[in-house]
Structure 1
Amino acid sequence: MTNKLESATYTHGHHASVIRAHSWRTAANSAGYLLPYLKSDMKILDIGCGAGTITVDLAKYVPQGHITGLDQAESILDQARALAKDTGVTNVDFVQGDANALEFPGNTFDVVVCHQVLQHVGEPTGILKEMRRVAKVGGFVAARESDYGSWVWYPAAEGLDNWRALYLNVARSNRGEPNAGRMIHAWARDAGFPKADIQCTSSSWCLSTKEAVADWSKGWAERTESADSSFAKSAVGGQFATAAEIAQVAVAWREWGQHEDAWISVPHGEIVCVKRD
């Protein structure tokens, strides 16, 4: 274990629109690739758990086991703990920590998983090494990451093209990699997993109903334009866009969301790695 702290900035931050969007995530829609590997008595570590919706849901798959959710932001963990209490899930706990320097002994967990985390960190390979260290021999390290360059929407919208270019610039200026989904298998190899021990899959979120599209477009409009949004602050502060340009992007999200045929696909790369030694 090192004493290294995260050097990248979380591009999304914890704006209300972000938390609302993340609350939609479940084990089924965000960790389905991992579910076949789970056994009822496993001990799991969920890194970057945020408000804990995936963590609490995963706990139901290991009723004789236990899951620990870890996040760098202590404030968001209060929401995760409240969710576990409200849903009556007791085989879960939440701790504050930095994934670059996990405060757990080696060979502690049957599964170490993260969702939409590696795209936001300065050294994803280093975090995968830490995940590998605290996983048990014979256990699994798993990750799922979006790939912003592969997002596809209909109808075509120049404003959303501008949003994507802006997002890529802002995320990379924060030392993240927004196209992480296509890279995580290579990062896993750099972290010490042989290619034969890395299972690669991909899956997508597809939003097409009126309600889902409305929530998605509203959320992205809000996190794009709100003065207290981390993304908006990074975009304007980093001189990637003016306030007027930010406002135009938010309008584009809203206009797209109102289209009768609006549809969007958000692809993810997924890995499950076996720790052999």
Structure 2
Amino acid sequence: MSAKTESAIYTHGHHASVVRSHSWRTAQNSIAFLLPHLKPDMKILDIGCGPGTITVDVASLIPQGHITGLERAGSILTQARANAEAKGVTNIDFVEGDANALSYADNTFDVVYCHQVLQHVGDPIGMLSEMKRVVKKGGIVAAREADYGVFVWYPELPGLKEWQDMYDRIARRNGGEPNAGRMLHAWARKAGFGDVRCSCTMWCYASEEDVTWWSESWVERAVSSSFATTAIEHGIAGREDLERISRAWREWGEDQDAWISIPSAEILCVKE
């Protein structure tokens, strides 16, 4: 068992605007590629569970099983536990921990998965290796990661291109890899998986409701979340730059033709 700890800084942080965005995620809209492989009595580990909305959904799909949500930022687990309680889900627990050094014995879980986590860590290959260690032989390790370099939106406002470039610089300054999606399968093979099954899906926001939700999230996140704090502390951007990006997201969200696609790569790995 490794004693390694996380070296990277989580780019988004846990500002209220970020948590609201993450709370939109469900098992169906975020890990649909994994769901056909779940069985009612499985023991599952969710790495980087955040507010637990995906975790709680998965719990309902394994009524004779159990799922553990693991999160490095323990403060968010209060909300995760409240989400489970509100839905009457009892085959679940949430623990604080570092996925670089999991406190579980080898071959403990039937499935170990993470969603939008590996892009934010210093050693994604090492983390996948640790996930592989704790999954049973024949079990599944799964991951889904966005690729910020291939986000596409309309209208093509200059401020949003500035945001994309700035996000890349901030994420790399924090020790992460914002274009993780395109590398995910290669990381898995380097972690020792021979059976790596790849797919790609995307979130697409085009309805007035979805566009407004995404726009308002980044209007606030651009100036108030850890994204903004890192940008200022490390001289990547000033307050005026961040406010300009915030205004660009508002302008985009007010356009009746606004549209954005957010692609994510997916891997499903079987431990041999």
Structure 2-normalised TM-score? 0.99
Structure 1 counterpart of 2:237? 241
Instruction: Say if 2:254 is the partner of 1:274.
Output: no
Q: What secondary structure, in the 3-state scheme, does the structure 2 residue paired with 1:162 have?
A: helix
Question: What is the rounded CA distance, in whole Å, between the counterparts of 1:233 and 1:222 in structure 2?
Answer: 13
Instruction: Say if 2:168 is the partner of 1:168.
Output: yes
Where does 1:143-222 land on structure 2 (aligned, <5 Å)?
A: 143-194=143-194, 197-222=195-220
Residue type of the alignment partner of 1:190: K
Question: What is the rounded CA distance, in whole Å, between the counterparts of 1:61 and 1:80 in structure 2?
Answer: 17
Structure 2 counterpart of 1:141? 141
Question: What is the rounded CA distance, in whole Å, between the counterparts of 2:184 and 2:249 in structure 1?
Answer: 29
Cα displacement (A) at 1:60: 1.0
Question: What is the rounded CA distance, in whole Å, between the counterparts of 2:137 and 2:22 in structure 1?
Answer: 32
Cα displacement (A) at 1:247: 0.5
Question: What is the rounded CA distance, in whole Å, between the counterparts of 1:248 and 1:78 in structure 2?
Answer: 34
Question: What is the rounded CA distance, in whole Å, between the counterparts of 2:130 and 2:7 in structure 1?
Answer: 16
Structure 1 counterpart of 2:109? 109
Deviations 1:32-61 (CA, angstroms, capped at 9, x unpaired):
000111111111000000000000001111
Residue type of the alignment partner of 1:219: S
Structure 2 counterpart of 1:70? 70
Structure 1 counterpart of 2:252? 256
Instruction: Say if 2:55 is the partner of 1:59.
Output: no
Cα displacement (A) at 1:213: 0.6
The runs of at least 4 aligned residues of structure 1 exceeding 3 Å deviation read none
Structure 1 portions without partners, runs of 5+: none
RMSD value, Cα = 0.5
Cα displacement (A) at 1:128: 0.2
Cα displacement (A) at 1:174: 0.3
Question: What is the rounded CA distance, in whole Å, between the counterparts of 2:196 and 2:28 in structure 1?
Answer: 21
Question: What is the rounded CA distance, in whole Å, between the counterparts of 2:145 and 2:45 in structure 1?
Answer: 17
Cα displacement (A) at 1:236: 1.0
Question: What is the rounded CA distance, in whole Å, between the counterparts of 2:250 and 2:31 in structure 1?
Answer: 29
Deviations 1:148-167 (CA, angstroms, capped at 9, x unpaired):
00101011111000000000
Identity percentage over the alignment? 62
Residue type of the alignment partner of 2:231: A
Question: What is the rounded CA distance, in whole Å, between the counterparts of 2:84 and 2:157 in structure 1?
Answer: 40
Cα displacement (A) at 1:126: 0.5
Cα displacement (A) at 1:242: 1.1
Q: 1:223 aligns with which of 215, 221, 224?
A: 221
Residue type of the alignment partner of 1:150: V
Question: What is the rounded CA distance, in whole Å, between the counterparts of 1:31 and 1:37 in structure 2?
Answer: 11
Residue type of the alignment partner of 2:249: W
Q: What secondary structure, in the 3-state scheme, does the structure 2 residue paired with 1:112 have?
A: strand
Residue type of the alignment partner of 1:217: S
Structure 1-normalised TM-score? 0.97
Q: What secondary structure, in the 3-state scheme, does the structure 2 residue paired with 1:240 have?
A: coil
Question: What is the rounded CA distance, in whole Å, between the counterparts of 2:184 and 2:150 in structure 1?
Answer: 15
Deviations 1:6-51 (CA, angstroms, capped at 9, x unpaired):
0000000000000000110000000000011111111100000000
Instruction: Say if 2:123 is the partner of 1:120.
Output: no
